[in-house]
Structure 1
Amino acid sequence: MRTRPILIIDDDHALCELVASTLSRTGFKVLAAFDGPTGIETARDAHPAIILLDMMMPGLDGVGTCERLKQDPVLGDIPVVGMTASADLKYAERVFRAGAEFFLPKPFRAESLLRVVRLAAETAERQSRAPRRERRVRLAAEILVRCVIREGSHPSREIVGRTANISLTGLLLLLPEIVARGSAIHLQLQFPEGSLSAEARVIWHDPQPVSGNRFRHGIHLIRFAHDIDLVEYRRFLNHLAAGQASEARS
């Protein structure tokens, strides 16, 4: 991963220099952009391994920048670390709802910066092992899913749904009610061998109900609770793909 640069998008020039100095000492190459639109263009040119993104920039702020990055078909898989000096926990939630995988409050120590960068680098490395075509393949599967929904300032609530199809990076989930786009969800997927836990977010929903008065939701998987959960999930996908391929040949 260190062959690809880290991009920091922040209007604070001094902070960009400090981050670049800190990370370059551990072998990372760092690029800087000082506003959201320039950051997006730099990301398209350099395709960084990780993006460090200030959320409170003038003009196009970090939330808007992150949303555009995550909607981009090329850049959407790059891990984003949201950074802000705001002490308001609701703002941190906005960071995750915009699509950031990690959060780093300002001011931060060098050790905290290095820790979150390494975690983000591990996430990028895991994603890079799966070819993009493999990550996009969706397989028909009906799996019971327990969902703890977190929508803005509303209390968390639990609902139960079922998948219609699944892939390495997302689910088509049928839920008994509409959940707002961008909402964070803690998932417990009930597989035959046991349950797996993952953090996810709602990318889209269809307001028209389907059979059983259920609503379709596009779910992006952000991270599994444990590495073994990711291993077991991939094993289930491989088993499912092999079974469906066998049925197609018969």
Structure 2
Amino acid sequence: MSHRILLVDDEDDILEFVRYNLQREGYEVFTARDGAEGVARALEVHPHLILLDRMMPRMDGLETCRRLREHDELKDTMIVFLTALGEDEHQLTGFAAGADDYISKPIKMHILVSRLKAILKRIGAGDAAPRDTGGVTIDPARYIVKRNGEEISLPRKEFALLTLLMSDPGRLFSREEIYSRVWGEDVVVGDRTIDVHIRKLRQKIGDEHIITVKGVGYKYEK
């Protein structure tokens, strides 16, 4: 089954251009022409990724993003701003509203397709099947983590990080790969970001599962 992508933009020519090209790549594509319609459409089709314009009438991209993040059923939906507003301050406000990434206009289609493929790989680390390893169960499709049968609440980045590590128990993931697959190559985060998230995960699932390989990265052990 192909990934579902929702395009939200008030410019018809952009909607048609992007939709046509993404459908050629095999994606199932839906469209909305303003933020309010975008929220309603997202709740209807449950897309894997929403490509969201920043500047729109009625409800701008920031408010639309906030509204989308209010719905539990869209927790694991990736939200990517497609916008001409590329300054750092605008990007930071977008991330604060719940966005996962930014792609700048004007659109170069081959770059957009490449970026979307990389972003979609972050969803469930490419595997939506439930996994049970060492008393910790993770179900990426349902956004559920349990430890010894008891459900644990994780923020989105902690969930994505744990999903990645549990996708291949025993494998060492380098810090660079973790940054790329969980935060994205174009997202600037501090050097201690991974360490902070790892510490929080250990507090919730136990110290024995996530192993540090000093100066290299982390791995999950059963």
TM-score band, normalised by the shorter chain? Answer: 0.5 to 0.7
Question: What SS class does the counterpart of residue 89 from structure 2 fall into?
Answer: helix
Q: Which residue of 1 aligns with 2:60?
A: 61
- Runs of 4+, deviation exceeding 6 Å: none
| SS at structure 2 position matched to 1:74 | helix
**What does 1:23-62 correspond to in 2, within 5 Å?**
23-62=22-61
- Which residue number in structure 1 is paired with residue 212 of structure 2? 194
In structure 2, C-alpha distance between the alignment counterparts of 1:132 and 1:73, rounded to whole Å: 14
User: 1:55–1:82: 8 Å Cα contact kept in structure 2?
Assistant: yes
Relative to structure 1, is the Cα distance of residues 196 and 14 closer, same or farther in structure 2, using a 3 angstrom cutoff?
farther
Q: Matches of 2:214 and 2:111 in 1, distance apart?
A: 29
Work out the CA distance in 2 between the residues paired with 1:43 and 1:70. 11
What is residue 144 of structure 2 aligned with on the other side? 136
Name the counterpart of 1:159.
none
122-131 vs 87-96, which deviates more? 122-131
The alpha carbon displacement at 1:54 in A equals: 0.7
Q: Distance in 2 between matches of 1:96 and 1:41?
A: 22
Instruction: Deviation per CA, 1:99-146: give whole Å up to 9, x if none.
Output: 111110111201111012102221225373342597433659xxxxxx
Structure 1 or 2: larger helix share? 2
Task: Give the Å deviation of 1:195.
Answer: 6.3
Deviation track 1:141-170 (CA, whole Å, cap 9, x = no partner) reads xxxxxxxxxxxxxxxxxxxxxxxx775846
Q: Distance in 1 between matches of 2:153 and 2:25?
A: 38
Give me the whole-angstrom Cα distance separating, in 2, the residues matched to 1:123 and 1:129. 14
- Normalized against structure 2, the TM-score is what? 0.64
Query: Partner amino acid for 1:92?
Result: Q
- Structure ranking higher on relative contact order (CA contacts 8 Å, 6+ apart): 2
TM-score w.r.t. length of structure 1: 0.57
Question: Structure 2, unaligned stretches of length 5 or more?
Answer: 131-138, 159-188, 200-206
Cα distance between partner residues in 1 of 2:106 and 2:92: 18
Contact 2:124–2:140 (8 Å) recurs in 1: no
The code of the aligned residue for 2:112 comes to L
Asked if 2 retains the 8 angstrom alpha-carbon contact of 1:49 and 1:78, the reply is yes
More strand by share: 1
Larger radius of gyration: 1
Q: Which residue of 1 aligns with 2:89?
A: 90
Check whether the contact 1:33–1:42 (CA below 8 A) recurs between aligned residues. Answer: yes
- Structure 1: runs of 5+ lacking an equivalent: 141-164, 172-183, 198-225, 240-250
1:88 Cα offset (Å): 2.3
Secondary structure of the 1:68 match is helix
Distance of 2:146 and 2:6 partners within structure 1: 31
Q: Secondary structure at the match of 1:93?
A: helix
Q: What is the CA-CA distance between 1:196 and the residue it aligns to? A: 9.3
Q: Which residue does 1:18 correspond to in 2? A: 17
